[in-house]
Amino acid sequence: MLLRRLDEADFNALAPHLSETSIGRGGTLNPAEETIDTTYFIESGVCSLVLTSPDDRVAEIGIVGPEGVVGASPIIGVYSVPHSSFMQVAGRALKLPAETLCEIVQKRPAIALMIARFRHVLAMQAIQTALANAHYTVEERLARWLLMCQDRLGSNEIELTHDFLSTMLSVRRSTVTLATHNLEGAGLIRAQRGRITVVKRKELAALAAGSYGMPEEEYERILGPLRT
């Protein structure tokens, strides 16, 4: 997880304020437009960052797993954001009051630098999401999204429903069903009710092509291995 990238002294400064929490699928971490009072360092599972337009159109703008942190914008003086964050795959996190984090990073700039580097990678992820949505097919985008989830879960099995996927990919459920059938027909995945298993990762990455990989490479360049 991200906290493992800190040296001992910086981690020990945070440790007394951290508490472990379990968050079920669909559990909200930070609602949109509300004051961010808690910061979460994800330990397992996958958190989805979702933006809803004034006319109720929904799109996922990023995902965060054990490589990252959610609700850290208060360290730059931003106490609310227009997007919401919730767990798309249930997991655990270490949390602490956002104000406490702000106080600690004033004395421990290495913590602020690490979080800033992660936020840079998250911005790169949003940029590649825009590229994928503009230029890649639903099958290619689905392949990308499954690879990103697998990276963060460290497992071939991903618990997801077609309804959830339709929201994440901003397409109709029937379109997700067709895309899933196409990937399964090609032998790349195996789809069961509420679960998708990645069967051939290399071929899935080839299908995703240029829609996948840039943020992950950037993470490894400036922070280290995506999973520790």
Q: Given 3-state DSSP classes, what are the helix, strand and coil percentages for the chain, each rounded to the nearest 5?
A: 50, 25, 30
- For residues 42 and 30, is the Cβ–Cβ distance under 8 A? no
Compute the distance between CA of residue 96 and CA of residue 160 in angstroms, rounded to an integer.
29
Contact 1, 43 (CB under 8 A): yes
- ∠ Cα 191 197 198 (to 5°): 120
Say what the pLDDT of residue 228 is: 58
Token code pair at residue 115: 């979080």
Q: Are 37 and 72 in contact (CB under 8 A)?
A: no
Per-residue pLDDT, 24: 95
Say what the pTM is: 0.93
pLDDT value for 171? 84
* 62-87 pLDDT tens trace: 999 999 999 999 999 999 999 999 99
Q: What is the pLDDT of residues 24-67, one digit of tens each?
A: 999 999 999 999 999 999 999 999 999 999 998 888 899 999 99
For 38, the enclosing helix (H) or strand (E) is: strand 38-42
Two tokens, residue 71:
């609700």
Percent of the chain surpassing pLDDT 90: 83
pLDDT at 94: 98
The pLDDT tens digits of the residues spanning 155-191 come to 999 988 777 788 778 788 889 889 999 999 999 999 8
